[in-house]
Amino acid sequence: MTSSLRSRFSSSRFSSRFSRGPRRCFYLSGSRLTVYQWRRGTLTDALLFQRSDEGLADFATYLEEQADVPSYMLLDLVEEEYRRDTIPHVFGGDRRNVIKYRVERAFRETPYWHGHIQGREPEGRRDDRLLISAVTNPGLVKPWVERIQEHKVPLAGIYSLPLVSAAVLPVMEASRGEVLLVSLQSTGNLRQSFFVDRDLKLSRLAHMPLLAPEGVVETTLDEVEKLRRYLNSLRLLRRDAALQVYVLAHGPVMEELRRQAVGSPTTAYHLADLADLADRIGMSPAFVTPYADAVFAHLLLSAPPANHYALPAETRYHTLYRARGALRAGSVALLVGGLVGGGFGVTEGLVLERRAQAAGQQADYYRMRYEEARGGLPPSPVEAADLKAAVETADALDRARALPLPLLSAVSQALDANPDLQVENLEWRVDPSPEAAMGSGTGGRAAPPPGRGGGVGAAPAQGLYHLVLVNGRVTVPEGDFRRALETVSAFAESLRTQPGVREVKVLTQPLNVSSTESLRGDLQTRQGSGKQDFSVRVVFRKDDAAA
Amino acid sequence: MRLPDVDWSVLRGSLILGVFALAASVALVGGGQWFHKETQARFDKEQRRFQTNSRRYLAVDEEERLIATHLPSYRKLEQSGVVGEEQRLAWIETLREVSASVRLPSMRYEIQPQKEYQPPVAVSTGGLRVYASPMRVQLGLLHEDDLFRFLDTLAQRALGKFSVERCTLRRAAPAVQTDPAKPNLEAECELLWLTIRQPGEAKAG
């Protein structure tokens, strides 16, 4: 049956140093497993399960009730061995392969092993120092792990207590030199772990018979002395060096230690009361006992290191648990982002809504005022501004209006002054360019005048030119080319005197006397005769005529 | 961890939550943006209305002056057919009257569909537009003065305004004839018949 060691304690009594979520430590010590529960940065409760069918069933029931808590298994077993070795200084996959080879050679039967590189040799080819630890009897661990897996508990890792206990050394300012950490465990055993510069070299769990405090201390000091001599024999400790022994104890055992552990040239004792230590690491004083189990559980849960022994399949629910946590955090972030983004839009929208209402009220106010003022005005078919625009546009169209009358009148007057001329055909048109091509029919225009028809083009600022092409025949006695030329010249000259005429150009003379052209004929026929005896092009501008 | 090792029962709830959160987030942001856009459009509309109304109210004195100054001229333009719908029937009747008045031996005309027209001089038409209907007339003339009289009379009598774009005049017979039914000259002119009106005011037929 499950029994609670500290169930009377409530987590609310303890101040919280961390805002971390709940977690727990499965402290496995041979025949029993203690569950230390953790909430808000400190231990809150402990449960004890025996390694029996009933105990395992209780454990399964407990896990069924509380499966969804990240868990860390801490092993405090006699059946844990350590080997120190050296391997070539290689990296990555090569290092893993070398370590695996050494482990398989040393511990063939267990899946629970851990290789830890502890710096390099100072001499030779400077190989890496390797500490291999392994659980030699995995059967002690398997039953618990199987139930953990069955209930999909997020197991983060399985840890070696001696390796985890290194975390207490800095708290006691014992990180340097040769240090022996001694602690009494709740199983009644004495844990001795030897460190050099905080690197674990070996650990030993010695059986401690049930004795009075005086007997416990005597046995402890004997075990320390035996281990010191063993370290000397292994050359892990120089014979002239004093072994720094840090003993974790509390209560009558500590008082007895203070009397008996006086030290010697080869051994220096440093006594650490577990109550003081608990205070320094932030552990609840409710968990202070003569045994150091809770301290190591607290150290593990407060700063969990990387997994030591657990297989990937055994930690897969922890991976899934973290993935699920990330998904939930992402979902919350998405929702918060959506709320912020949407809220921003809605807030801005509400502000705009109020401003729109205010603008609408002002618009209505001015509309009413305008209609009141407008009531006294005569009705207008269009906006007042458009009345003006219509009148001005009509005036502009009048100014721009093109009629052939002025220019054709000028041509007519010039023809009246020269009765020998007879017009065959005449073409008139308006164009923004005075150089626009002219010809018979509608195909003679070079380009349609901009602004005329179709609603395209910009209005030319300088107005339009009126162009006339006169094709005609001059009637003179046959062969009197001189008179014919004079008549056409007189016609052109007459045109030039008309108001608004800008240019008069004789395009075709009755006879081409230019030196650059060939000239042929005979006395019986008219020289240079053709369908058009002459043609004259006239450029006129209405503005000039008005001036 | 390989995909087959994933226990989806652990992740199912979180995945559903993630999908819901994504959809809700998109809906929230989209809804917020939509609301913001709608209210922005409404605000812009009300702001424009406010600016227009306040401007009109402040300009009511100027409006009164414009009406007093230009309404009579505008009414005259309406009556003369310059402003408003084009009067095609009246044009045709006027063409026939002028032709008869000048006693032209022949006259043919062709009026094309009306189009918007850009005046050749810079002028602000405000909310109104100028439209033009291209027209081609072919005239049989006894004398070239008949063309002048035709255009001059048309300008005096026609509703609306027109502008002549092009005219050609050619001899129809080698010798001058005295028969009033047979033309001595042929003239062909292209005109633009212009009207001023509000956009989209034209009526079919």
- CATH number of the domain residue A534 falls in: 3.30.980
| Tally of domains within chain A | 3
- Is A172 within the bounds of a domain? yes
Same domain membership, residue A267 and residue A146: yes
pLDDT at B202: 59
A36 lies in a domain? Answer: yes
Residues A281 and A169 in one domain: yes
Q: Is the ipTM of this complex over 0.85?
A: no
Indicate whether A35 and A163 sit together in one domain: yes
Domain that holds residue A8: 3-79+137-314
Q: What is the distance between the alpha carbons of residues A168 and A116, in angstroms, rounded to a whole number?
A: 19
Paired tokens of A106: 């040393």
Task: List B residues 160-189 in contact with A (Cβ-Cβ < 8 A).
Answer: 161-171, 189
Residue A96 in any domain: the answer is no
A262 shares a domain with A205 = yes
Specify whether A223 is located in the same domain as A326: no
Q: What is the value of pTM for the model shown?
A: 0.58
Please indicate, yes or no, whether residues A189 and A268 belong to a single structural domain of this protein. Answer: yes
Q: Specify whether A245 is located in the same domain as A339.
A: no
Tell how far CA B2 is from the center of its chain: 73
Is the predicted pLDDT of residue A442 greater than 50, yes or no? no
Bridge-based pairing of strands A267-273 and A421-431 is unpaired
Encoded tokens for A212: 């009075």
**What mean pLDDT do residues B104-111 have?**
92
Residue A132 forms part of a structural domain: no
* A247 and A334 together in one domain: no
Greater confidence (A277 vs B143) lies with A277
* Sheet strand arrangement including A42-50: A3-4, A42-50, A32-39, A23-29, A71-75, A155-160
Task: Note whether A264 and A328 are same-domain residues.
Answer: no
Candidate CATH numbers 3.30.70.60, 3.30.70.100, 2.60.120.260, 2.40.50.1020; the one for domain B88-197: 3.30.70.60
Are A57 and A29 members of one domain? Answer: yes
Average model confidence (pLDDT) across chain B: 88
Q: Which pLDDT score is estimated for A444?
A: 34
> Are the Cβ atoms of A403 and B155 closer than 8 angstroms?
yes
Flag whether residue A359 sits within 8 Å of chain B, measured between CB atoms: yes
Q: Which residue has the higher pLDDT, B31 or A477?
A: B31
Summarised one tens digit per residue, pLDDT across range A204-229 is 999 888 778 888 999 999 999 999 99
- Among B34, B161, B171, beta carbon nearest to A397: B161
Interface of A with B in 384-403 (CB under 8 A): 384-394, 396-403
Q: Name the amino acid, one letter, at A95.
A: R
Least confident window among A262-271, A504-513, B58-67, B75-84: A504-513
Checking if the pLDDT of A84 tops 70, the result is yes
How much is the pLDDT for A20?
Answer: 58
Phi, psi of A445 (to 5 degrees): -75, 135
Q: Which of A78-92, A204-218, A431-445, B20-34 has the lowest mean pLDDT?
A: A431-445
Q: Show the CA angle centred on residue A519, arms to residues A518 and A524, nearest 5°.
A: 155
Residue A153 pLDDT greater than 90, yes or no: yes
- A496: Cβ contacts below 8 Å, ≥ 6 apart: A504
Q: Are residues A256 and A190 in the same domain?
A: yes
> Which SS3 state, helix, strand or coil, does residue B115 take?
strand
Q: Which of B77, B122, B192 sits opposite A459 (nearest CB)?
A: B122
d(CA A469, CA A453): 23
CA A58 to chain centre: 48
What's the pLDDT tens digit per position in A323-362? 999 999 999 999 999 999 999 999 999 999 999 999 999 9
Residues A334 and A266 in one domain: no
Residue with tokens 């977690």: A23
Cβ of B76 under 8 Å from any chain A Cβ?
no
For chain B, domain boundaries: 11-58, 88-197
**What residues of chain B, 126 to 155, have a C-beta less than 8 Å from chain A?**
126-128, 130, 132, 134, 144-145, 147-148, 151-152, 155
Spatial separation of the C-alpha atoms in residues A185 and A249, rounded to whole Å: 10
Closest CA relative to residue B168, chosen from A423, A198, A337, A448: A423
Q: Which residues of A touch B194 (CB under 8 A)?
A: 397
Per DSSP (E only), the strands in A219-343 are 243-249, 267-273
